[in-house]
Amino acid sequence: MEKLESSLPSSIVIGPFFVCVGAVRQSLIRKRKSLANALLENLALMLRKQIDSASEKCNIISRALQEKPNSIEELNEKREWMKQIPEQLKSYTEDLAKILLDLEVLEEFYYSFSNEDVNRKWNAIWWPQRIMYQMEMVTIQHEEDEKCFHEIQLADRNKFEEQLDSLKVFPVFL
């Protein structure tokens, strides 16, 4: 802005005329400032949407991790799906690094972030650690669920064998 202020004079002498251009100068300076602020606001809005989108992807993963499997088959499917999560988090971290670089550009222009924007940023940074911790807890829960499913399977097998035995005995009485 200083360069613009120093390059535009407040008055111009054109032949015998003395033209005051101070108002035009101030108007141009205000327009340039408002344009710069609008660009910063637009960049901030774009980055806000990108952070929200990235965080929503992690939120979806987190919610899927919280779902309890209802059978051993679902448990195995979930384990296979969980093997893909580190690669997804790596991609998320790469995308987040690009967003954080753009946020640094805003910081260089002394852009004033709202508390909500700051919270979004730190939540986005925290998501990978939260999901990794959640994966550890889910893995422990899966071991317990597998034992429970195994016990259910044994009980079902015993019940089925008892029914088979009763069916074997039934034809003898006919």
**Residue whose C-alpha is closest to residue 99's, from 66, 122, 76, 132:** 122
Q: Is the pLDDT of residue 25 over 90?
A: no
**pLDDT for position 48:** 94
Indicate the average pLDDT of the chain: 88
Of 4-8, 26-30, 109-113, 119-123, the one with minimum mean pLDDT is: 4-8
CA dist 122 → 51, 113, 115, 117, 146 (Å): 10, 13, 11, 9, 36
Residue 4 — very low, low, confident or very high, per pLDDT cuts 50/70/90? low
For 105-131, the pLDDT digits (tens) are 999 988 888 999 999 999 999 999 999
**pLDDT for position 58:** 94
Half-sphere exposure of 156 (CA within 13 A, CB side): 6
Which range of residues forms the domain containing residue 49?
2-159
Position 174 in a domain: no
Give the CATH number for residue 70.
Answer: 1.20.58
Residue 150 — very low, low, confident or very high, per pLDDT cuts 50/70/90? confident
Q: How many domains does the chain have?
A: 1
For 55-104, the pLDDT digits (tens) are 999 999 999 999 988 888 888 899 999 999 999 999 999 999 999 999 99
Q: What tokens were used for 145?
A: 């669920």
Position 167 in a domain: no
Residues 6+ apart with CB under 8 A from 1: 29, 32, 33
Residue 131, Ramachandran bin (φ over 0: left; ψ between -120 and 50: alpha; else beta): alpha
Position 14 in a domain: yes
**pLDDT for position 122:** 94
